[in-house]
Amino acid sequence: MIPKDTDSYNNLIKYKRLIRKPCISVLAFSKNNFNPTFATEHNELEKTVINILSWLDNNSNPPIEKTPELRQKVGSFKDATNTLCTHLPDVKAKELRIFKGKITDNAFYYCDNIERGGWEKHTTTIELPQPVLEHQAYLDTGISAEEEE
């Protein structure tokens, strides 16, 4: 995929990084504040974060049609965050909600850049320089180094 303009491409990279950072922070938060009483809620939160990170890794250049998948994963993450926050002390819940806001906002801007960024998919064929073509023709003759001497 080649972006029509590099600003759009740079924004995609920027927002992808801005999604990943708080996702990793949420995973660390969940491990550091684990409460066995709410193991199911912690596991659900971690699963949704891993799903977001996996989607980002598996869709390096996503088409517009793929953005609803990311939006759905972020929605599941928001649900898991809200569920766990009901069981956390106010200070910890506030910290988790800050991460949720960062992930939600940056995922929105990431999808928006894909949808409005003007991605154009096509392939390009570049002619090889003449010396490379001549060398390839020489290699294609099949003459070994021993025969050359």
pLDDT value of position 133: 78
Classify 2 as helix, strand or coil. strand
pLDDT value of position 114: 84
Q: What is the mean pLDDT of each run of 10 residues along the chain (149 residues)?
A: 52 84 95 94 96 92 90 96 95 96 93 73 63 79 66
CA distance 77 to 44: 8
pTM across the whole model: 0.72
pLDDT value of position 118: 52
In terms of DSSP H, where are the helices of 33-129?
A: 39-58, 67-85, 90-116
pLDDT value of position 147: 65
Q: If 0-12 CB within 10 Å is exposed, 13-18 middle and 19+ buried, where does residue 48 land?
A: buried
Tokens in use for 41?
């809620």
